[in-house]
Amino acid sequence: MTVPLSRARLEQILEAFKSLRIGVVGDFTLDGYWYADMEQSKLSRETATFPRPIIRETYSLGGAANAAWNLADLGVGAVRGFSVIGNDWRGKILRDLSADANIQSEGLLNQLDRQTPFYGKVMLTAGGRRAQEDARLDFINTQPLSPEIEAALLAAVETALATLDGLMIADYQPVGVITARVTQGLLKLAGAHDQKPFVVDSRERAGEFRQLILKPNDTEAARLFFPERNVAAVALSELRQAAIEHNRQTGQPIIVTRGEQGCLVAFAGECVSLPGVQVPPPLDPVGAGDAFLASFTAALASGANPMEAASLANLSAAVTVTKVGVTGTAKPAEILSMYDRWVSQIN
């Protein structure tokens, strides 16, 4: 396969990121890693279980916040976050980490009866061996946003759009900030700013954003295009044809990510299978989708075509999977290094 993106063009796109202003609206989440030394665990007489003696804790941006962090580490000139979080200790850490990552957080609104989404990852360690992840502790919301906070969130996005070059929509939580009313508001704003890329990553509701640029993974795409079928039975050729039809009907490109296999890029009435970058283990896929989303959106906003943007996004995802135990990001120098590896594999 011919490399669809030259190194000189890649450098040009990465350089253009410095002048971009991109917004991220969606489920800003805090990730926590709690390290338990199981050699210090003693059987509890009261519960007959072994406790997790936590000896170290670290926190990082997750969900839509991780997507925003990826934009910042790509060198995007200004990154603005829009979400609703709780007035709790997790929200404070999330705001502090956002500030450290140079993410403008004026658009992170508080709802008093809401908690900041949090994924607590208990890492079991012993004798210097590699940590093993225990069952995760998820802090989620079960009540929808209030009408007042929905209106405030949409108003914040609308006000900012005049100065933004693109918008990412990261819809990750079952009861998150991308409600039916927020969805309709975003679609209306996209129609009024159709010269700017609106790129959507929605795990459960991609069909509601059909007129925008979609970035589902292969399972999500199979569920979107073939809702009555077992997704495991949907062939790659069927996904490819469905992506072409979607592109022809909507006029929007659609990118279907396939993990280490790369992605499908459907635009201009055709669909190309773009191979992934093969990297050796150990690997950690957490955050790779956010890296892809951020890089793809930033590249489109800089003027890259969908194939160029997807190529850059593939490289970013390959960088992040090599960062084990953290929702990592990809920086321009790391992307260029990964590009050299990718070219050597293709040739």
Question: Would you say 267 and 306 are in contact if contact means Cβ atoms under 8 Å apart?
Answer: yes
Q: Output the CA angle 15-16-22, nearest 5 degrees.
A: 125
What is the Cα 191 distance to its own chain's centre? 23
Q: Where are the beta strands (DSSP E) in 140-209?
A: 166-171, 198-202
Q: What distances in angstroms separate CA 6 from CA 11, 144, 180, 316, one per listed residue? A: 9, 46, 41, 16
Task: Determine if the pTM surpasses 0.85.
Answer: yes
Written as six digits, the tokens of 149 are 């906070």
Q: Which of 196, 300, 295, 262 is nearest to 3 (CA)?
A: 262
- Dist. CA 1–CA 273, nearest whole Å: 10
Q: Where are the beta strands (DSSP E) in 68-139?
A: 78-85, 103-110, 118-125, 132-133, 137-139
| Residue 1, in any domain of the structure | no
Residues 6+ apart with CB under 8 A from 286: 326, 327
Question: Would you say 256 and 217 are in contact if contact means Cβ atoms under 8 Å apart?
Answer: yes
The CATH number of residue 221's host domain is: 3.40.1190.20
Q: What distances in angstroms separate CA 155 from CA 21, 124, 177, 185, 198, one per listed residue? A: 18, 44, 14, 9, 17
Q: Is 112 exposed, middle or buried (0-12, 13-18, 19+ CB in 10 A)?
A: exposed
* Average pLDDT of the residues in 214-240: 97
Domain hosting 326: range is 7-42+50-346
Written as six digits, the tokens of 228 are 């009555």
| Residue 130, in any domain of the structure | yes
E strand or H helix at 100: helix 89-100
Asked whether the predicted pLDDT for residue 175 surpasses 70, the reply is yes
* pLDDT tens by residue, 267-324: 999 999 999 888 999 888 888 999 999 999 999 999 999 999 999 999 999 999 998 7
- Dist. CA 195–CA 10, nearest whole Å: 23
* pLDDT tens by residue, 320-337: 999 876 778 999 999 999
- Domain tally, the chain: 1
Written as six digits, the tokens of 180 are 């039916």
Residues 6+ apart with CB under 8 A from 134: 36, 52, 121, 122, 123, 124
Question: Residue 206 phi/psi, 5° resolution?
Answer: -60, -35
* pLDDT tens by residue, 11-68: 999 999 999 999 999 999 999 999 999 999 999 999 999 999 999 999 999 999 999 9
- Dist. CA 37–CA 54, nearest whole Å: 6
Could you give the angle at which helices 64-73 and 288-301 cross, rounded to 10 degrees? 50
Q: Which residue in the block uniquely carries the two structure tokens 């209030």?
A: 146
Residues 6+ apart with CB under 8 A from 109: 83, 84, 85, 149, 152, 153, 156
The pLDDT value recorded for residue 1 is 61
Prior bond of 282 cis (ω within 30°)? yes
Choice between 236 and 347, residue whose per-residue pLDDT is larger: 236
Other beta carbons less than 10 A from residue 188's beta carbon: 12
The pLDDT value recorded for residue 287 is 86
| Residue 2, in any domain of the structure | no
* pLDDT tens by residue, 78-134: 999 999 999 999 999 999 999 999 999 999 999 999 999 999 999 999 987 878 999
Q: Which of 75, 77, 60, 63 is nearest to 24 (CA)?
A: 63
Report how far apart the first and last C-alpha atoms of the chain are (Å, whole number). 8
Supply the mean pLDDT for the chain: 95
